[in-house]
A and B are shown apart, each in its own frame.
Chain A
Amino acid sequence: MRKNLNVIAAYSIMMSLIILVGVFQSWNIALSIFNLCLISAVMTMGANIQWGYAGLINFGIMGYTALGGLAAVLISVDPVQDAWSAGGFDILTSLFIIIGMILAIKFILKRYERSKIRTYFIAAIIILGIIIIRVIAEPGIEAIEAVEPAKTGFLGGLGLPIVFSWIVGALFAGGLAFVVGKVALGLRADYLAIATLLISEIVIAIIKHEDWLTRGVKNVIGLKRPAPYEVDLQTTEWFINLVEKFNSGKLALISDIADRQTALNQLVIEGSSVFVKLCYSGLFLIVVIILLILTQKALYSPWGRMMRAIRDNEEAANAMGKNVVKQHLLIFILGSAIVGIAGAMLVTQDGLFTPGSYRPMRYTFLIWVMVIVGGSGNNFGAILGGFAVWFLWIEAAPIALFVINLTTSGLADSHFLKQHLIESVPYFRFLMMGLGLLLIMRYRPKGILPEKIEIK
């Protein structure tokens, strides 16, 4: 108990902060912060596996998040039959050509020795393949995008419940990580950071501009939910009764029946959105807890010890007969897959997929701030980082506003400096993140909850 005191203290402070928001602002805001904190926590766990366990830098978190989101779309949206009949055949043919190309290249790589001719041959296959695919796919893509462009204009998905996409998102992200890992993991740390960042930008560019698959910047809205809809709840008998029971004390004070009815309606509307958010919180909490148990078990297993050994001294681990390359690839895939789950969860919660919103600031660098601040190598630290940083990110504007009003209280409201500062309140969150990161890196370089190695 004693040695976990700082963990318990840190988490109680975090929870009481969120409860304070609930009391002073509203429960709606508090719950939406809490939900995004949970999603951030999943992302930081993924990044922490890569950075904390194995020392691999992955600045491509944005790409894996977006792939998870794409999975949510491809799983939950109903298939667009017209689009499939218009261009499905062309797309499938192209897909088979791509598979054929990959197999052919693999065959050549295996069969022939490294030489100039081999390289030219592979390049020729790739270029020829791209030209053939363009010729075949172009009419198909145009036909698909012409099917009701305002409403669909893409192939749609499988029409399954959206929760499946959490697993599929992990598979997608893991698949991308496999390719990226094969390509880039041999690079030095800072090259790896830059390469993964740029690859994630390529992924986003594809998701943004391949309208036949993702609708691109036209966005996909109205995804199916795993939770009930507010509108349905507001007309459901048991829910109204529940709200009435919950607030019976408050309602009893109102004597007029009509007034009481309107008050009840108001409470039902508020209650319904809180209830929906609570449903999401429950689902997300289950994911976080499962992942936490798994990652904790992994960290203290022989495998976890091996990963730390590789991280701390690659050559020695190699000399002990550990396959460093294979383990790096494995952990890269595992971490990215977890980030993919988070991406799918995010889209599930929002109910919409907006490729234009994936920006490295929000989905890569902010997550890294979370990992560093929370404590790399410690799962509880990573989750705490996700909570604390996301909380600050949201509450930075009100805090900054408060500070500005306090420091400029001597100035008139119409003073240009005060007005200018109040207008730029949203950007103070960047300042807080940056200063927070710099201070933590300087004075507590292992994060709020540092890594603990227990030797039993």
Chain B
Amino acid sequence: MDFVNAIILLLNYIFIPALTYGSQLALGAIFVTLIYGILRFANFATGDMMSFGTMFTVLFTWYFQSLGISLGVLPTALLAIPLAIIFMTGYMLLVDKFVFRYYRVNKSPPVQLAMVSIGVMFVTQAVVRIIIGPSDRRFFDGEKFIIKAGEFKEMTGLNEGLAIKSTQVITIVVTMILVSTLFWFLNKTKTGKSMRAYSDNEDLALLSGIDPKKIVTITWIIAGILATIGGALYGLDKSFKPFTYFNNMLPIFAAAIVGGIGNPFGAFLGGYVIAFSEILLTYAYRKFFMYILPETMEPGGLVQLLSTDYKFAVSFSILVIVLLYRPSGIFKGKIL
């Protein structure tokens, strides 16, 4: 019995939260990797672009709520996301046309494009804050829990409760659907294949008649979809605050590089690597050991490897170690 309790404890406090957080990071990391692989620059505006998409989701959610439209037990935001994606891709294509295109056509070095993306970051951040303000917004509605901790305890008669939030399930399901569609698109369709070819060898792709303009447009559209959904899922699960999104850029970068930048599947796994290591290393295992060890061997302290203050620092340290020993990432940075 104690063993089952211990497993439930780990599921409740480590596995499910890490899976959720990892999914949110994974979407962002694929976004970073796509931009890096095809447009060839590190996009420092990642976090703020995600908050831009989420802002539209929040605005449309409020609009639908004021009209009285809802999805019942599901959050209204799911209805708002498609509309937000349209606005988001519009914004991204606009930014590309007026800002990034010039440098791409001139074949500027990647560093210059990264600097330009910092300018875009400042502007996007300002626009988000001017439109919706810097404060914390919650836009979740519908049923909050699928299983409540208390109900679970009654149902199974265990000491430990397992709480599953509906946002967690939505996050994981949506991520799985989105990511598998994306991989299908990249691997099986003609456009996806031409994107991979372009990322692998630009000159050769151009020679074989691939239209670079089309590739770039499609990349921004996919990026817009990923950024909006990733941001909206994070906002649904926690809350929407522009500053948090800016900060999330750092673990997202870490995930993309750990997975091997330019490699979407690596970025996807990288998100989970970062999320799990952050939570595994900062969780206090005291209760877990109380269940599995006999009473005489009960630990005195919290049995915590690192204090939760260092949550972010964990992912950054992993990144530094990976950069040192395997600069191409754990999953070998094969291009796309």
Which residues does A use to contact B, with CB under 8 Å? 57, 183-184, 187, 189-191, 193-195, 197-199, 201-202, 205-206, 208-209, 361, 365, 368-369, 372, 421, 423-424, 427-431, 433-435, 437-438, 441-442, 445
Known pairs A194-B42, A205-B312, A208-B309; A434 contacts B119 (CB<8 A): yes
- Once A194-B257, A368-B118, A438-B120 are accepted as A-B contacts, the answer to whether A202 and B127 lie under 8 Å apart by CB is no
Check B133–A424 contact: CB distance below 8 A: yes
Report if B122 contacts A (CB, 8 A). Answer: yes
Q: Can you spell out 15 A-B residue pairs with CB atoms less than 8 angstroms apart? A: A187-B323, A193-B111, A194-B257, A197-B253, A201-B250, A202-B316, A205-B310, A209-B307, A365-B118, A427-B134, A431-B126, A433-B122, A434-B123, A438-B99, A441-B119
B window 101-118: CB within 8 A of A? 102, 109-112, 114-116, 118
A201 close to B316 (CB less than 8 A):
yes
Q: How far is the CA of A86 from the CA of B127 in the complex (A)?
A: 52
The answer on a CB contact under 8 Å between A209 and B310 is yes
Contact A190 B129 (CB under 8 A): no
Nearest-neighbour CB distance to chain A for B120, whole angstroms, equals: 7
Bound complex: CA A445 to CA B112 (Å): 9
Residues on B with C-beta less than 8 A from A187 are 323, 327
**Inter-chain contacts of B291 with A (CB < 8 A):** none
Which of the residues B118, B310, B320, B327 comes within 8 Å of A199, measured between beta carbons? B320
Beyond the given A183-B320, A434-B126, please list 8 additional residue pairs across the A-B interface where CB-CB is below 8 A.
A190-B110, A198-B253, A199-B316, A361-B125, A428-B130, A430-B123, A437-B115, A442-B102
Beta-carbon contact of A191 and B257 below 8 Å: yes
Which residues of the partner chain A approach B317 to less than 8 Å between Cβ atoms? 202
Contacts of B110 in A (CB 8 A): 189-190
Q: How far is the CA of A365 from the CA of B119 in the complex (A)?
A: 9
Contact in complex: B111, A421 (CB < 8 Å): no
Q: Are A437 and B130 in contact (CB under 8 A)?
A: no
Known: A209-B310, A427-B130. A190 touches B111 (CB 8 A): yes
| B324 is an interface residue with CB less than 8 A from chain A | yes
Chain B 322-336 near chain A by CB (<8 Å), digits 1 or 0: 011001000000000
> B124: which A residues are within 8 A, CB to CB?
434
Q: What residue of chain B has the Cβ atom nearest to residue A198's Cβ?
A: B316
B319 / chain A contacts, CB cutoff of 8 Å:
194-195, 198
What is the minimal beta-carbon distance from B282 to any residue of chain A, in angstroms?
A: 12
Contacts of B133 in A (CB 8 A): 423-424
Q: Bound complex: CA of A208 vs CA of B327, how far in Å?
A: 29
Beta-carbon contact of A430 and B126 below 8 Å: yes
Chain B stretch 62-121: residues in CB contact (< 8 A) with chain A? 99, 102, 109-112, 114-116, 118-121
The CA-CA distance from A195 to B318 in the complex, in Å, is: 11
With beta carbons under 8 angstroms apart, the residue of B111, B122, B130, B246 that contacts A424 is B130
Give Cα A105 to B127, complex, Å. 50
Residues B244-295 near A (CB distance < 8 A): 246, 250, 253-254, 257
Across the interface, do B118 and A437 meet the contact criterion of CB distance under 8 Å? Answer: yes
Interface residue? B31 (CB, 8 A): no
**For residue A438, which residues in chain B have a CB less than 8 angstroms away from its CB?**
99, 116, 119-120, 123
Q: Which residue of B lies closest to A366 (CB)?
A: B122
Distance A191 CA – B286 CA, assembled complex (angstroms): 38
- A424 and B129 form a contact (CB under 8 A): yes
Task: State whether B121 touches A441 (Cβ < 8 A).
Answer: no
Q: Are A421 and B115 neighbours in the complex by a CB distance under 8 Å?
A: no
What is the CA–CA distance of A361 and B309 in the complex, to the nearest angstrom? 21
| Chain A CB within 8 A of B173 CB | no
